[in-house]
Structure 1
Amino acid sequence: MEAIDIENLLLNNDEKAKHFAKENLNETNEHREKCLEEIRKWLTEDQAKLHARMEDQYLLPFLRGCKYNMEKTKKKLVNYYTMRRNVPEWFQNRNPELKEIQDLMKLGVFVPLTKLQDNKLVVIVRTAIHDPCIHTQDNVFKTGNMMMDVASLENIIPAQIYGVIAIFDLYGMDFDHAKEFTPSMIKKAVFCWQNYHVRPKNLEFINAPPTINVILSIFKSFMSEKLKNRIKVHTDGYEKLYEVVSKDILPPEYGGHGETMEELIKYWNGVLLKYKTWFLDDEMYKSD
């Protein structure tokens, strides 16, 4: 893992992103520094039990995701670090060299694109690419969270400033996959999405089976109105998806002209493996 580019993190090299952040996220240099100081003081004096990361690159995503609303930011930080304690099956033992992680990575359960859409990071989540008799849904979510951590660190401005477009490919979804999505699993997933440190802008579901509305209705029952309104289900090909994500950057497997899924999987697995030491260190950051 390379050292963080502070100039990039603070938007000093991107006037367009700086303007966007000011207009849409209430971020200015002065406001950012004031809020960072306040959050650090609050974490140190009132929330030491959270064992939160204190560096700018780990606090700014929460501030930006909450548009610098301090109460919302504090709530999200508490939720996030408490979740890391309460859900060890997703946030502990995250060695990217583990066989179960490598197997799922090579299947391509969670694959970011390397090109952006309107400055946003695009990720493809292949919900049913795995065999549920071999791989648990918890390991699928753990692998996805690990890849999202890495992709957001590698794409600071897209993930933190402009947001993320998630394409959920449901091809191959059958009863064995569907039964893994118990209400408790769905509640856990939605809680994670809503308290994660990126800005989810679009949730696009493709290759949806007829039963998707049953599963989605459970997902929506745990979602905020804002997140519900960002869900779109595509049941008739990819034409409507192309209105959201250009064919120029989508893989050929999705009718696009970008890198193949195989190329993307190989690239991101290589990046993930470089973060082995980072993941080992990261496990200590969670609530008591």
Structure 2
Amino acid sequence: METFFVSEKEKSVINALQNVSEEAIETKINTLKKWIGQCSHLPLESKDEEFLKIMLLRGKFQEGNVKKRVQNYFTHLCKYPEFFVGLKNIKPSNEVGVVVTSPALTPSWERIVILSLDSEKLEKVLDVHRCLYFAIATGTILFNYDYVPSVRVILDFESWTMSHILQGNINDFFKVRDIYENVFKMRISGIEIINAPHLLGAVLNLAKVVLKPKLFSRITVHKDLRSLYEKVPKQNLPRDYGGELQSVKELLKVWDEIFTKKRGFLENIEQLCQRNGQEESIFGPQGSFKTLVVD
């Protein structure tokens, strides 16, 4: 489902908005590949040009930042193996946790990501770790294939209860934050909370503990969908939210196809995670690099 992600034409527009030319990107990629060739600890996957283009976008085309991000990316894949092993076996439509994205970008070039629960599959005891695991899996694909400047996240708490929140392990939330900051590092332009009046205090208290102040300041609590439409156009929302897209269930089927097509990529992520974790001559405790040199 490559058409689900950003087209080559859209990439050119995004690059122009970042004030960087195709020629400049090519020059930076060649410089990065030369640097990677001098870093024996980095795997061959780090030389992939499409991967480096993504890293350049995430690093705002500043080579020093990009080098650090490349190092961090491969370090943190093995730091938390519980979030990166077995991703190839996921089928989104079977998950209790729901993660779907809008097929088209917003007029401000954002990708909309919706996180919620499937009430039809919801059991008395919710596995919050599994929900986070699935979100990381989707994020892994988006980070490596979706050439977008930023994402806007919608958190729908309609089917959540206080007991669900209390079942979450605070250490898991901190691990996910660390993965976001060091593996994905995608700009989140906003976090839109909906259907959470009964949980609002608990949700915001948890967010204040886990999120850094800059990201916490980007949270908006919506009293209704009309308020949400002020931030997210209807053409970027599923029918379930009064939008013009196909339903959440239909979007999950699209993601079933994406996960199937990206199975080889997800297998490679798992192999990198396991291989890096075993290479004590290269990696230090918990899979971290013994040295982190960015010239």
TM-score, scaled to structure 1: 0.79
Answer with 189-198 or 237-246: which moved more.
189-198
- Return the letter of the residue paired with 2:219: I
- Counterpart of 1:109? 98
Going from structure 1 to structure 2, the CA distance change for 1:213 and 1:76 (only over 3 Å counts) comes to farther
Give, in whole Å, the separation in 1 of the partners of 2:126 and 2:263: 21
- Counterpart of 1:121? 111
- Return the letter of the residue paired with 1:111: V
- Return the letter of the residue paired with 2:100: V
Secondary structure at 1:74's aligned position in 2?
helix
**Mapping of residues 68-217 of structure 1, within 5 Å:** 68-96=61-89, 103-104=94-95, 107=96, 109-118=98-107, 119-126=109-116, 129=119, 131=122, 136-151=127-142, 155-156=146-147, 159=148, 162-195=149-182, 196=184, 198-217=186-205
> Is 1:169–1:207's contact at 8 Å kept on the other side of the alignment?
yes
> Is 1:126–1:168's contact at 8 Å kept on the other side of the alignment?
yes
Going from structure 1 to structure 2, the CA distance change for 1:38 and 1:228 (only over 3 Å counts) comes to farther
Give, in whole Å, the separation in 1 of the partners of 2:81 and 2:122: 22
Going from structure 1 to structure 2, the CA distance change for 1:183 and 1:78 (only over 3 Å counts) comes to farther
Q: Deviations over 1:49-95 (max 9, x none)?
A: 56653212112222211212333333333333222112111101112
Give, in whole Å, the separation in 2 of the partners of 1:72 and 1:187: 23
> Is 2:112–2:152's contact at 8 Å kept on the other side of the alignment?
yes
Deviation at 1:225, TM superposition (A): 4.1
> Is 2:29–2:53's contact at 8 Å kept on the other side of the alignment?
yes
Deviation at 1:97, TM superposition (A): 5.2
1:245 is the counterpart of 2:232? yes
- Return the letter of the residue paired with 2:63: M
Going from structure 1 to structure 2, the CA distance change for 1:109 and 1:74 (only over 3 Å counts) comes to same
Identity of aligned residues (%): 22
Give, in whole Å, the separation in 2 of the partners of 1:282 and 1:15: 28
- Return the letter of the residue paired with 1:245: V
Once superposed, what is the RMSD of the aligned Cα atoms?
A: 3.2
Deviation at 1:123, TM superposition (A): 1.4
Going from structure 1 to structure 2, the CA distance change for 1:180 and 1:51 (only over 3 Å counts) comes to farther
- Return the letter of the residue paired with 2:196: A
Deviation at 1:169, TM superposition (A): 0.7
**Mapping of residues 26-105 of structure 1, within 5 Å:** 27-46=20-39, 48=41, 52-96=45-89, 103-104=94-95
Give, in whole Å, the separation in 2 of the partners of 1:154 and 1:52: 14
**Mapping of residues 250-269 of structure 1, within 5 Å:** 250-269=237-256
Going from structure 1 to structure 2, the CA distance change for 1:216 and 1:74 (only over 3 Å counts) comes to farther
Structure 2: 5+ residue stretches without partners: 277-282, 284-295
Deviation at 1:30, TM superposition (A): 4.0
> Is 1:251–1:257's contact at 8 Å kept on the other side of the alignment?
yes
- Return the letter of the residue paired with 1:120: E
2:14 paired residue among 13, 17, 31: 17
Structure 1: 5+ residue stretches without partners: none
Q: Deviations over 1:222-242 (max 9, x none)?
A: 4344323322222x1112210
Q: Deviations over 1:8-60 (max 9, x none)?
A: 2xx6x7653332021xxxx3334323332333344342361566532121122
> Is 1:36–1:56's contact at 8 Å kept on the other side of the alignment?
yes
Answer with 271-280 or 205-214: which moved more.
205-214
Going from structure 1 to structure 2, the CA distance change for 1:38 and 1:64 (only over 3 Å counts) comes to same
> Is 1:89–1:138's contact at 8 Å kept on the other side of the alignment?
no
> Is 2:112–2:236's contact at 8 Å kept on the other side of the alignment?
no
TM-score, scaled to structure 2: 0.77
> Is 1:65–1:198's contact at 8 Å kept on the other side of the alignment?
yes
